[in-house]
Each structure stands twice: as structure tokens, then as C-alpha cells.
Structure 1
Amino acid sequence: MQRTLAKLCKPNQAISVTILSNEAVKNANYQPSLGYNLNLEPHQIDNAIMRCVDKRDLRTGLLIHSYMLKLHSCGFITLWNKLLSLYIKCEQFHTACHLFDEMPTRNIVSFNTMISAYARHSYFLQALSLYKKLKEDDLKPNHITLSGIIGVCDGLPEKCMMDIFHAQAIRYGLNFNEYVGSSLVNGYANQMKLVDSAKAFTEISHLDLISWNIMIDSCVRNNDKEHSLRIFSRMLHENIEFDEFTLTSVIKMFLGPTDIDNGKMLHCCAMKTGLSHETSVTNSLISMYSKCETGMASARSVFEETMAANIISWTAIISGLMQNGLNTEAISHGGQVDEGIYALSTMISVYKIKPRREHLSCVVDMLGRAGRLSEAEMFIDEMGLDSNVLVWEALLSACRFHGETRLGEKCAKKIIEINPERHGSYVSLSNIYAERGLWEDKRVVLENLPANRLKKEYGCSWMAS
């Protein structure tokens, strides 16, 4: 078979990629010119198409398609379905649509393939039309059909469609299927209908890990802390082996200052099951511990033990340290500037992570709080942050704290230039002028406040720390 395909793919043969013209698809009598006669059995063609699917080999697939047209292979629906899959996997969506319309015969697999493709390309109404069409063709939907069409409901304007397809699943006895049931659980959760989501979950006859994870994630998206913990406890009671996705989802529900005890319990579960080194789990644990000042030591410990820290890991630890400025471990507010700069450097040079604006703002903030204002200004200039209002606000705050009026004036003017609607900068600038005895300049700034429909906030002073 490989020798045959090699012949087909040789560039010096009479047939080329362009043989699949519109005429070839529209007209079943189209006869492409092959420079030789081939006599391939259906199972050989089937194997060849599957190789094309596995390797995303569109060119060979086109040649096989033309060969099938030449032989009028109308009766082999399996071959046409696999060609359909090939075009979809090779990102030839419109060709697949054309092939589906012109296929000599179609079965439920054909419809399932196209419904899934329409859903992935956000053609939700077209997917719905296909579902109606298969019913008109007296085809019975299976679990793949219903799972696919339920996933389309979020993109439809009529939110009642979820209930309609739930009823369809019950009618065909498919609501017990884990694929259909999980799709319903997820679909109802997206519509913030947790009660219906939980009902669909209880109807599933065989709960696999994906079903459990979708149910827990549904609780998280609907902010139902107690329900998510109940589901997780049930998993433990029934000795269901959970994974990092399960733990990450549950931990996300316990990010309040009073949740640290439950968080510690989940941390123990992670350590016991060997999931404590999974990056997604450690990121959630860092965020959880960071919400409580007494948990920052644990957050730092989890971060240092993270084997594959990513940008989320760094953001979580830096944000936690920033939020707990009185903690001695804090980089910015605790004054450990060199350590903070080293952390940023490690992100870039060791972990090859491109820092985001939040990270760069942290550097400006910690340099400013340490009184290294000129370095902070130089950092803004060298990193191309001149149009970032957040870094100028961070530096303005530091200038106010250290009484640096001249640089503070520059910061306030920059903020006004970038975003005139941020009225705090007008107030700060007027106070800077007052400190320097520039009363006329202060009057001009304050006169601009009504012009921008802004009001001066009461109790705001340059001397306030």
C-alpha cells in the first residue's frame, strides 16, 4: 500500500493536488486522469485514509478522494466519513461542508462529525439545523450526537434549548450516559443553573473522573463552596482517585482569609497523593495561603518547592507578598529590593517567562518604597513603560511618601497626560504645588477639575502617608 501511495504522490504523475476542483466535488461523473490503473480494495483505501488522518496528509487525501470519485465508490459510507474527518482535521472546514452536502449517502457518524465541526467553528445555528435534518432523515441520535449538540446551546439565543435537549436525552435513554450527562452538567453550570446541573449529575449511571471534575468545576463557577466540598468529600468516601484538576478546582473555592484550615486539609491531600508538585496545584495553594497574613510563610515554602514555576506562579507569590506588606518575607513592602529584582531576573533568564505589566509595576513600587526613586524612573524609561499609567501611579505614591515633589510633579503630569479622567493625579499635583508655594499653579490645576467634571476628594493631602 505504501508503494501505491508513493506512486500517487510523485509529482511527475498526471494527477496533481488540483484534481479536487469544484467540478470533481459537484459532479460524481467527473473522471480525473490517472496515468495508471489501480485496483485497490476498500480496506486498503480505508487504511490509506487513516494514515492521512494521522499524519494530516491533505495532499494524499485529495488524491485518494479523486480515486474514489473515479471508481464511483458510492456504497462505502465509512470511507466518505473518514474523508470528512480528514478535511476537518486538516483545517479544510468549507471543503468538508461541501463534501457533506454532496455525499452519496450519510449516516449518524457523518452528522456527528459535522455537528462537532460546526460547534468548533461557532456555527451554532447550522449545527442545530443539522440536528433537525438527521431527525428528518429518520436517523436516531446517539450519545455523541447529543453531547455535541448540548455543547452548542451556550451559543444559541434561546437558553431553553438546554432543557429541550435534556428531554431528548431522557427520551432516547441517554441521560445516564457519562458523556451526555457531563455535557448537561457543564451546560447548566454555564447558565448558572447549579440545581439543574446537580440533577443531571445524579442521573449519570457511571461516574468517571471527568464527570466528577466537571461537577466540582460547576460548583466553583457558581461560587457554591459547600457543594464543591461535599462532592469532593464524596469522592474521598467512595475512594475515587482524583487528579490535579480536581484539587485545583476545589482549592479555588477556599481563597478567603477564614478558609485557611480547609486549605491546609486540601494541601495535605495533595501531599498524600503526590500532587503537591503539580504546577496548577501549587499555584492555587500559593494564592490560597497568600490571602491570609499568617499563611505567607507557607505560600513562600510552596513556591520554593514548585518544580516548574510559570508566570501564574510568579504572579501569585508577588501579589501575595504585596498584599501582606507587613510580613518580613514581602519583597516590595519589606524593603528586600535586590531580592525582588533577582526574582524578576530569574523569571526572564532562567524560566524564560516574559514579565507582564503587573510584575514591572511591582519593581517600580519596591524601588520607590526603598527610596531609590531615580532608579525607578530609569527602569520605567529603559523598559518602555512610559505609557503605563500603573507604574507612574506607583512612583507617584513613593514620591509622596518620600516628599520628592519635583519627580512627583512629573509623575502626576504623566498620569494626567495618559488618562485625564483619573482625578487623584490632579489633587496630588495641586498639593505638590502647594508644598512648593506655587499657589498660582495650584489654582490653575484646581480650575481644571470642573472642566473635566471632577471633584476634589475631601481629606486628601500631600502630607498624608
Structure 2
Amino acid sequence: MAAALIPVLPLATNPPSENGYRRLPVDHPILTLLDDYAALDDARVKQIHARMLRYDLFSHPYAASRLLTASFFSPSPNLPYALQMFDQIPRPNLYSWNVAIRAQASGDRPDLSLLLFSRLLSDSPHSPDRFTFPFAVKAASELVLPWVGAAIHGQVIKSPFHSDVFILNSLIHFYAACGDLDLARKVFDNIPQRDVVSWNSLITAMAHADRLDDALELFQRMEDDGVDPNDVTMVSVLSACGKKGDLQLGKWIHFYIKRSRITECLILNNAILDMYVKCESLEDAKALFERMTEKDSISWTTMLVGCLKKSEFDVARNMFDEMPTRDVTAWNALISGYEQNGRPKEALAAFSELQDSDSRPDQVTIVAVLSACSQLGAVGAGKWIHSYIKKNGFDLNYHLTTSLIDMYSKCGDLENAIKVFRSVKQRDVFVWSSMIAGFAMHGRGEQALDLFKEMEEENIKPTHVTLTNILCACSHGGLVEEGKAYFSKMLPLYNIPPDIEHYGCMADILGRAGRLEEARELIETMPMPPPASAWGALLGACVVHGDVDIGEIASRKLLELEPRNDGGYVLLSNLYAKAGRWEDVGRLRKMMKEQGLKKERGCSSLETHGVMHEFLVGDASHPQSERIYEKLEEMTARLKAVGYETKRSQLLQNVEDDWAKDHALNLHSEKLAIAFGLISTEAPVQIRISKNLRICEDCHSVAKLVSRVYERDILIRDRYRFHRFKEGWCSCKDYW
């Protein structure tokens, strides 16, 4: 910059009069102290400010703007002090206004940036220039204020800068941040000369909003227009490929990057890694990872996620242990990877390790471990984590509230789920939906419907998930007519067209009620191709009600869609077994063996004193196995004394001898778990059991009698719902 007018100022004399101005070089001894403002701290800035006030330098707009820049953009800026300094400048030039507006837009008070912009318009002789507008637009983007940004856009149109690409690029980002991609596209289309930033802004916006085809189409147009993409472009394009899961296109993009000699910086390599992981090409990801000369925590964490997704748990654990540094993001990847891939025990063990590390769990960690507790039915661990949330001052936001309600509900502690729900004043639709789901899985259909009505009174609009939960509540509660009524009102009343899940729930409602032909007609007349889950629900209902004819139809449809669905074969086999058609049972088992399919073994688990115990059918591996079987014999004898008779129809094997039938049924995993619960806990402690399959009628009868004879409260969560046994009754009212 050329020399500027500042007062004539002998450094050791009193300040001159207002008219004593002459041209001084820009390297004035005091001003040169501001040249390297990146090395100045707040105290030093204040010292320079004091010297400039002493020699009347601060009254000159140029000198004041130099100090203002240093104050706002030093390594640790004192923004309130800098703003006070700005307010003391007698006649701030436009550069000073821009510095102040920019600093606040990038700080934690973007509202002050907009206030300064408003003051510039009303109190200053200057008009905004091509730098002012983007800073103000950025502030509106940070605050997501569509009307403010639109007003600034209107001023841009009236200004001499209406075609400035720098300003228009900022408006593309603004409209994208506000979720209005159509307006962002309109701004883009009206830019006379687009630069690479213009294309990148819109491509990135489309990729982030999951308009993936639009993002890729823009990339193609960018090439056609002769604009060379850069690494920023390719990061967004790779993101779109990864989200689409299009490995072939992703590989082409990788080749394009090499061919175009785009610098493969760390950020770009991480984007390529992420694309390969999301496209489930772990080998390509591993090959790139090995070639990378520079890696950061994102690189390592991406590979960790990839290994976990491919169930390479040992490789993932070794990779985690080899990471140079492990931040909370890496811990979250490990814990969430275990939890999402059916390894809840390992997830809780990793969380325990995290407690002893230098990292601190965040909300993502807590949500993952609560989900792991839900899978295990580990209410003790879940309660400890709830206490941890309170002790460590976590904000009980919607996400955490939903996770806690879900954990307590799935662990069988519905009363605590209700307490969490009632303890929060602000509830979004997901919190309401989670509590409705809790009532549904516990068979409290009427309470679920009452809560839904309460939700409507609070003017909370239901989502498709809410209505799925309502239909599930009707299914588990036997509320057939209520379910049909809600199903018929979905589109006209709630403007939510029924989807596959809703039709599946409706088929389940009819099937459980024994209205099998009606359920079949509903599935066959669905407006979309019926999914395997709908036919599976019908087949399960046929097993319960013993309808072989419809069951065979449902099985055939199910296996056409999913030929390797072992559950479909097992259900049909059970249906044949109940009907005494043992030759058909043998035929199905032979087919399963030939295809390498195995029936899932029944497994029941319960938590005592913070330790999870698991039992398989006929299990003898538990350290207290001898005592468990002694208790089981005693239990059987006491139940027979009060009239218990084995439901031999529940034995799905061709056994002729009645004693052998009884013995086989006594080895069911939930009976072993009940026996262990009786010897390891005492009343009034509830025996809480989780089973991976549907509880059979014989075990259901045994649990009811045990609850009366032993005066114990028993809770069993099977694959579909909860059963609470108390004083000889079950909460399902024998409807499950």
C-alpha cells in the first residue's frame, strides 16, 4: 500500500494539532510492530494500542485499521476488546468495517457480524464492497437465517457487484446451508463466469444433501465446460460415490485423479479410503493405506471402520492397538463397530478400557454403549451408564433421552423408561416414538395408544416410525380393530402413505389374531412387491395357529425372495412337526444340510452381579451346571405337584418315548436360565432373561407356574416381545 496521511508526530514530543498532517511512510516505527500480528498476544496488542493513543496515531483511519487487524486476527484474539476498539475509531474506513464484520462472522457471535453490517448500512458513509457481502452472507449461513441472507442477496442485486463471482459463490453456500438447494442452483446458473469454487460449492452441497446423482452430473458438466477440478472437487465427488456404494465409478474417479495429476494430499487420500470402505472394497482400501506416506487419525479410523464392517474383528483390534494416537473418534469407531456388528460384549469391554485412557467419552460413545446394553439386556450396566451421564454433566438432549428410553425398555425396566420420558420437559417426535415403542414391546397396547393421543394433543406430528410403533402396539396387544383404524387413517389424516413396514405390521396384526386368509389377501394386494418380512410374519402366524396350507404358500413366497433364509425352513419344519408330518420335516432338514444352512440354536442369557451368563439348549458348560440341573429337577417336581403337564406338542423332533420328550423339553435354554436365576438371586430381585428365539408354549407355562410357586417375578425378552410373569400370570395374556 502507498504512503498514507497521518499526523506529523515527533515521537518524544506532545501530539500536534488536528491540522498538522503530512505524509509518513507506512513503516512508521509503531506501525511496523503490527506487521507480524500472528506473533502478537492480547497483552502486546493492548500495549501497542496504548502507544498509538499516546501519539494520536489511532485517530487516523489507516493506522487504526492496522491495529484492528492485529487485534481481531492475532493467535488468541480478544474479540470483545477488539470490538470496543472498533467503536472508538472516529472515522473507520471500509477496510476496518470489513475486518470487524469478517472477524465476528468467523467467531462465536455471528449475530454481531450482522449487527455491524446493519450499522455500516445506516451509520457509515461507505457502501459494502465485494468483500463485505461475503462476510455478512457467511454470518447468515452460520445462524441459518434464510430471510436475512435473502435480504442481503437483494442488496447484492442492486449493487455494482451483482455479478461478482466471489459474492455469488458465498450465496450458493448460504442457500445450501439453509437447505434450499433449488435456490443455490439458481444462483449458480446465473453466474456469468463460474470459477472452480462455484462448481465446488454446488457439488459439495449436493453431495452433503445426498442428491448424489445431481452431484455427479454437475461434475460431468464441469468437465464439459472446460473447468479443471481440484482436490476439493474430488473429495465431494468421492463422497457421492461412497454414499451410492458405486465401486466401479469410485475406481474410475481414483484413476481420473491419477490421470489428471491432481495432488493426492492427505485429505484427498482419506476421501479415497472412505469411498473404498463405504463401497465395501476393503482390499483396495488396504492397498491405498499401505501406500500412503502420510496418515492421520482419520486414515486409521477409516480403516478401523472398514475392518469392523467386514467382521475382521481381530484385524480391527490389532489396527486399533497400533494407532499412533487414539482420540475419542477412534474409540467410538471401535465401540460402535462392535455394537453394530453383533458384538455388544466387546463394545462394553472397549468402553471399560476407554475409562482408563486419556480420552473422554462423548455423546456418540454413550449412545453406542447404551445400544450394547439394550442388545444384551444388561440393565445393570445400563443403569451405571445412566449414572455416568448425570455425574459427568452430559446434556440430556433428544438423542440421549431416546437412547435411555430404548435401553430401559429393551432391558425390561419399563418403569425407569417412563421416568426418563417424564423427566424431560422438551420432547421431539423421536422421544415420543421411543416411549410408544417401549409400551408396544411390553404388550401395553392401550397405554401406547393413550400416549399417542397425548402426543397429538401436544401438536407433535407423527412420523412413519411413530405409526410403525403404534401398529406394533396393536399387534402385541391384540388390538385388531384399532390397528386397522390407524392403518386406514395414515394417508388421509397424517399424510403418511403406508410403506412396506406398515403393511408388514398390519399382516402381523391379522396373523396373530388368526385371521390368516385376510392377512394373505392384504400381502398379495400391497401396492409394492411384498417383502420377505411380510411373508415371514404370515408363516410365523401359521405355525402358531397350525395352518399348513397357507403356511406352505407363505414359505414358498418367502424362499423365492430369500432362498438362503434359514428361518423360513425352520418355521415350515416346525409347522410340519406340529402337524405330525415327520417325513416333510426330514426332507426340509436334508435340504438345509445340502445348502449349508443351520438352525439358529436357542440361547438365553441373564445378568447377575454385573456378570452376563449364557445358556444354550442342554448346556452343561456353566461352572454351576451341577447345581443348575439339581434345581431344574426340583423345579419340575414342584410344578408337577401343582398340576403341570409337559406340552409335548412343542417338541419339534420325532421322539417316540414320552420320557425322552419331557427330558428334551426340560433342556430348553430359558428353563436353565430360570433355574440359575433361582439359585443365584433371591426375592424380591427380578429374574431377567433374554432369549434369541420365540419362547415356546411349554417354557411359557413353566415360567408362569414358577412365578407362582416360587413367588418370583420373572421377565423374559424373546425375539418379538417381553413377557412378565408374576403370581402365575403373564403380561402377554397368553397372546404372543
Aligned to 1:343: 319
Match of 1:290 among 277, 284, 305: 277
1:381 and 1:284 map into 2 onto residues whose CA distance is 31
Indicate yes or no: 2:418 matched with 1:435.
no
Contact kept, 8 Å, 2:68 with 2:86, in 1: the verdict is: yes
Matched with 2:173 is: 186
Tell whether 2:598 aligns with 1:356.
no
- Counterpart position of 2:231: 244
Report the Cα distance in structure 2 between the residues aligned to 1:393 and 1:138, rounded to whole angstroms.
60
Query: Normalization by structure 2: what TM-score?
Result: 0.46
The answer on 1:88 being equivalent to 2:61 is: no
Q: 1:177 is matched with which residue? A: 164
Q: Secondary structure at the match of 1:223?
A: coil
Cα deviation, 1:7-30, whole Å, max 9, x if unaligned, reads xxxxxxxxxxxxxxxxxxxxxxxx
Counterparts of 1:434 and 1:416 in 2: how far apart (Å)?
27
SS of the residue corresponding to residue 138 of structure 1 reads coil
The structure 1 residue matched to 2:301, chosen from 307, 315, 323, is: 315
Percent of aligned pairs with the same residue? 20
Other structure's SS at 2:686 match: helix
> Matched residues in 1 for 2:192 and 2:133: separation?
17
TM superposition shift of 1:133: 2.4
Using the TM superposition, give the Cα deviation of residue 164 of structure 1 relative to its aligned residue in structure 2, in angstroms.
Answer: 1.2
User: 2:206 pairs with 194, 205, 219, which one?
Assistant: 219
Structure 1 residues 361 and 180: alpha-carbon distance in aligned structure 2, compared to 1, 3 A threshold: closer
1:116 paired to 2:83: no
CA displacement, residues 360-394 of structure 1 (integer Å, 9 cap, x when unaligned) = 6768999989xxx9x99987766547998757987
For residues 451-462 of structure 1, the aligned pairs below 5 Å read 456-459=717-720
1:145 to 132, 138, 161: 132
Q: Does structure 2 retain, via aligned residues, the 8 Å contact 1:341–1:363?
A: no
2:606 counterpart SS class = helix
Contact 1:290 1:299 in 2 (8 A): yes
Distance 1:67 1:378 in 2: 60
Which residue number corresponds to residue 451 of structure 1?
none
Between 1:303-312 and 1:189-198, the stretch displaced more is: 303-312
Contact 1:162–1:187 (CA under 8 A) maintained in structure 2: yes
Is 2:373–2:381's contact at 8 Å kept on the other side of the alignment?
no
- Aligned CA RMSD, in angstroms, stands at 4.2
Give per-residue Cα distances to partners, 1:394-442, cap 9 Å, x unaligned: 7998xxxxxxxxxx89x67434643575254558428756434527549
Q: Which amino acid aligns with 1:444?
A: Q
SS at match of 2:91: coil
- Structure 1 pair 446/197, CA: closer, same or farther in 2 (3 Å)? same
- Which residue type is aligned with residue 284 of structure 1? A
Alignment partner of 1:445 is 2:665? no
Greater relative CO (CA pairs within 8 A, separation 6+): 1
Answering whether residue 286 of structure 2 is matched by residue 300 of structure 1, we say: yes
Q: Distance in 2 between matches of 1:199 and 1:156?
A: 22
Q: Secondary structure at the match of 1:429?
A: strand
SS in 1 for 2:235: helix
Supply the AA of the counterpart residue of 2:27.
Q
Unaligned runs of 5+ residues in structure 1 are 1-33, 326-330, 398-407, 449-453
Deviation at residue 167 of structure 1 after TM alignment: 1.2
Q: Secondary structure at the match of 1:152?
A: helix
- Deviation of 1:187 after TM superposition, in Å, equals 0.2
Q: For 1:82-135, what per-residue CA distance to the aligned partner results, in whole angstroms no more than 9, with x for missing partners?
A: 111121123132222222222121222221111122223343443333223222
Provide closer, same or farther for how the CA distance between residues 122 and 418 of structure 1 changes in structure 2, counting only shifts above 3 A: closer
Residues 63 and 270 from structure 1, CA distance in 2 versus in 1: closer, same or farther, beyond 3 angstroms? Answer: same
Change in Cα spacing, 1:182 to 1:49, as seen in structure 2 (3 Å) is: farther
Q: 48, 54, 69: which one pairs with 2:32?
A: 48
Q: Decide whether the 8 Å contact of 1:77 with 1:105 is kept in 2.
A: yes
> Which region of structure 1 is more displaced relative to structure 2, 185-194 or 156-165?
156-165
Q: Which runs of 5+ in 2 are unaligned?
A: 1-10, 17-22, 387-403, 413-603, 608-613, 616-669, 691-714, 723-736
Paired residue for 1:26?
none
Residues 247 and 67 of structure 1: is their aligned pair in 2 closer, same or farther, counting only changes over 3 Å?
same
> Which residue in 2 is equivalent to 1:154?
141
Aligned residue for 1:44, secondary structure, equals coil
Aligned to 2:294, the other structure's residue is in SS state coil
SS at match of 2:300: helix
2:83 maps to 1:97: yes
Q: 1:72 to 1:289 in 2, by over 3 A?
A: closer
Q: What is the identity, as a one-letter code, of the residue corresponding to 1:352?
A: T
Cα 1:56/1:273, change in 2 over 3 Å: farther
Contact 1:175 1:203 in 2 (8 A): no
Q: Secondary structure at the match of 1:438?
A: helix
Look up the SS of the partner of 2:62 in the other structure: helix
Greater shift in the superposed pair: 234-243 or 140-149: 234-243
2:179 counterpart SS class: coil
For 1:262, give the aligned amino acid. L
Q: Which has the higher strand share?
A: 2
- The answer (yes or no) to whether the contact 2:133–2:156 under 8 Å persists in 1 is yes
Letter in 2 for 1:127: S
Report the CA distance shift for 1:321/1:70 in structure 2 as closer, same or farther (over 3 A): closer
TM-score (norm 1): 0.70
Q: Hey, what's the Cα distance between the residues in 1 that align with 2:154 and 2:26?
A: 40
Whether contact under 8 Å (1:65, 1:83) holds in the other structure is yes
Matched residue type, 1:219:
M
Letter in 2 for 1:319: V
* 1:76 partnered with 2:60: yes
Correspondence for 2:247: 260
Seen in structure 2, the aligned counterparts of structure 1 residues 460 and 274 have a Cα distance that, compared at 3 Å, is farther
Hey, what does 1:27 align to over in structure 2? none
